[in-house]
Structure 1
Amino acid sequence: MQATRPTDTRVSVHLHSPQNEAPPHPGAGWTRFVCISDTHSGIFRLPYGDVLLHAGDLSSYGALSQLTRTVDWLKSLKHPVKIMIAGNHDVSSYGGSSLAFQLIQYARTTVRSLASAGLYYLEHEPLHFTGPSGKVWKVYGSPAVPVHLDGAFQYASSTEAKAIYQRIPEDTEILITHTPPYRTLDKTRKGQHVGCQVLASRLKKLRHCRLHVFGHIHEDAGARVDGVEGMHRVSVNAAVPLSDNIVVVDMHD
């Protein structure tokens, strides 16, 4: 896993691992995002940050016990804001593709709601939250992926994909999707780029998007930084199963 560090003084990207600790939080006026994906019911050692972003595949195959394990782990973490989406492995045991039903059923059995623990689940929807300095960050989360074998939240045509990604507000600053966009950290072991071309096209119009976090393609985990409309956009494939590294992104408000 590699991270490309920009020259822009408003953003910094680090890799956190037992051998390579992230530097101290940069302080007032900055928000630290800790990015993970594809945990598949596993529990990992994470660095502290202001915001934890989980880009899907919370479970291995959508069993409620697996989701409960992941949600309990996320709830226990000290990050003030924790935002998660689902992925293609989060197949509903109840016959539908919506993970929300299972999460709601689980939440009903707990004393505290998910939101009261600072944990938010997004399924094709936006969320605004206030960072430590008072800045309001605009987030959007979508679990959708191009169709591949059996799984949840999959689309089979560009028409379906356009309908899904057109819903992303143009003022989105933090985008969380399960699939990568085409030719951005989406290369398989066979050397094929399997990210979504429609999502890549949509990102060209999201001129306020400063951070895009995704997963799905485990073997191309990492981060890169591109210049977009006079700013730097950080793209993070946050899949953790094949690496001990966790991507940490510091952004100046």
Structure 2
Amino acid sequence: MTSEHSRNCYTVLTNLPPHPGKSSTRFVCISDTHSRTSYFVPPGDILLHAGDLSSWGYPDQMEKTLSWLASLPHSVKIIVAGNHNDISILEATRTRMRSQSIQDTGIYYLEHESMVVTTTSDRSWKVYGSPAAPQYARGAFQYSTPEEAKEIYRRIPNDTEILLTHTPPYRILDKTRKGVHAGCRCLAERLQMLKSCKLHVFGQVHYCRPIMHIHECSGGEIMITDTGERIAVNAAVAWDTQPIIVDLANK
């Protein structure tokens, strides 16, 4: 799909489109791989992984995922965690993902924090990553009240251009099979204030009435905002869907 308003576009991978060249940055978006490494991930400038990298974040699971990510051709791979992290080993997992040896492979782990990444075309993008999600079951990075959610998402800088969250916002690619919108209302409210955000990538949907863990709403959508466009991507690949390519104009 190509927007009528700009050269920004997103593609659900079927036939791999040619890279637009130095005028654009190609983002390749995945999420919820849960220790699986058999996916075909197309090349691009920046890989974005929106969380649930492994089944529970145990060392052998994480090493498998990190080795796979390191083998991918993208010079920069930006990742967040997710609720599928065991709280008891969280510090060890965090230390490993922040290590210099991991960064040397181009992998950068964000946990409620920002980074600036500059492409070979000298376009610098301001990226923010959050692993947070509504309370679902056991696991890390979960919040249970609107007050907690608002405090978490208030940390997102207003000048963020690329937003990476584990959970989706309310009513944006968050619908369950039964037609229920299960995204986070507080995240949706915060997005209305992020005027510079051009791309929001997220993963699974949590729905707690009854408790369900849902990945079936993957895809992309172009949102019209007060200041232009924002591309929303539910990048969950846990149901054998494909990675999503987003080409953003370098302007």
Name the counterpart of 2:68: 73
Partner of 1:61: helix, strand, or coil?
Answer: coil
Moved more, 125-134 or 202-211: 125-134
Partner of 1:209: helix, strand, or coil?
Answer: coil
Distance 1:105 1:175 in 2: 23
Q: Is the counterpart of residue 133 in structure 1 residue 121 in structure 2?
A: yes
Partner of 2:101: helix, strand, or coil?
Answer: coil
| Corresponding residue pairs, total | 240
| Deviation sequence 1:132-187 (CA, Å, 0-9, x none) | 21011000000000111222100011111111000000000000000000011111
Contact 1:64 1:93 in 2 (8 A): no
Contact 2:218 2:241 in 1 (8 A): no
- Residues 47-126 of structure 1: pairs in structure 2 closer than 5 A: 47-94=42-89, 98=90, 101-105=92-96, 113-126=101-114
Distance 1:246 1:15 in 2: 7
Distance 1:116 1:64 in 2: 19
Structure 2 CA distance for partners of 1:107 and 1:223, relative to 1, 3 Å: closer
Q: Is the counterpart of residue 223 in structure 1 residue 220 in structure 2?
A: yes
Distance 1:154 1:247 in 2: 26
Shift of 1:64: 1.4
Shift of 1:103: 4.2
Q: Is the counterpart of residue 183 in structure 1 residue 178 in structure 2?
A: no
Shift of 1:244: 3.4
Please, what TM-score do these two structures have when normalized by structure 2?
A: 0.91
Distance 2:187 2:97 in 1: 31
Q: Tell me the C-alpha RMSD between the 2 structures.
A: 1.5
Shift of 1:80: 0.8
Q: Give the gaps of 5 or more residues in structure 2.
A: 206-214
Q: Is the counterpart of residue 6 in structure 1 residue 35 in structure 2?
A: no
Partner of 1:198: helix, strand, or coil?
Answer: helix
Identity %: 50
Partner of 1:14: helix, strand, or coil?
Answer: strand
Distance 1:21 1:15 in 2: 9
Partner of 1:117: helix, strand, or coil?
Answer: coil
The letter of the residue matching 1:165 is Y
Moved more, 183-192 or 139-148: 183-192
Distance 2:163 2:179 in 1: 26
Distance 1:13 1:167 in 2: 27
Contact 2:218 2:236 in 1 (8 A): yes
Please, what TM-score do these two structures have when normalized by structure 1?
A: 0.90
Distance 2:32 2:64 in 1: 14
Shift of 1:93: 4.0
Shift of 1:106: 6.8
- Residues 128-207 of structure 1: pairs in structure 2 closer than 5 A: 128-207=116-195
| Deviation sequence 1:34-57 (CA, Å, 0-9, x none) | 000000011111100000000000
Moved more, 239-248 or 142-151: 239-248
Name the counterpart of 1:36: 30
Give runs of ≥4 in structure 1 deviating > 3 Å.
105-108
The letter of the residue matching 2:247 is D
Q: Give the gaps of 5 or more residues in structure 1.
A: none
